[in-house]
Amino acid sequence: MTPTELHIRPAVAGDGALVFTFIHGLAEYENLAHEVLATPESVENTLFGPVPAAEVLIAEWGSQPAGFALFFPNYSTFLAQPGIYLEDLFVLPEFRGRGIGKALLERLAGMAIERGYGRLDWSVLDWNQPAIDFYEGLGARALDDWMQYRLTGEALQRLAGAR
């Protein structure tokens, strides 16, 4: 990879459709496309509206969009420091093997350090061995003693006491 081939930039207003394309590509890779309720418009509104819900880095190979990282701050009470939670990392199949995923993670790690954050967290599906091998090769470790939980839909509404 030469420095001129790969460019990583923050996503900006107007990138919602591109980010949606990456989200949909990731969902297809994870066999979860049927769960995507997002639209290009909702992505644009939630990421670039008055109160952005997350940040996005776009990786471009030459002039072609190649991948993305979507992330937001979290907080460690044990460290008493914020961190970055990486929600999505995805590189289009035709651009894999060029160091783009690693470059996106390097940029996120640098952002965490620059912002005075204490860590970088993410989840990976247990069947995604190529990703697990990639992450462990970078020095990341699985948190085997933690289970992730989620409330959505009716269960979320019920807990919130919605009528």
pTM of the model: 0.93
The whole-number pLDDT of residue 4 equals 73
Q: Retrieve residue 144's tokens.
A: 């085997």
Sheet of 120-122: strand order equals: 6-10, 55-61, 64-76, 81-91, 120-122
* Per annotation, catalytic residue among 29, 75, 85, 135: 135
Q: Retrieve residue 31's tokens.
A: 């066999």
The whole-number pLDDT of residue 60 equals 98
Question: What span, in angstroms and rounded, lies between the C-alpha atoms of 31 and 161?
Answer: 32
Cα dihedral: 8, 14, 16, 19 (round 10): -20
Q: Can you list the domains of the chain with their CATH numbers?
A: 6-159 (3.40.630.30)
**Catalytic: 149?**
no
Per-run averaged pLDDT (10 residues), the chain, 163 residues: 82 98 97 97 98 98 97 97 98 97 98 98 95 95 93 93 73
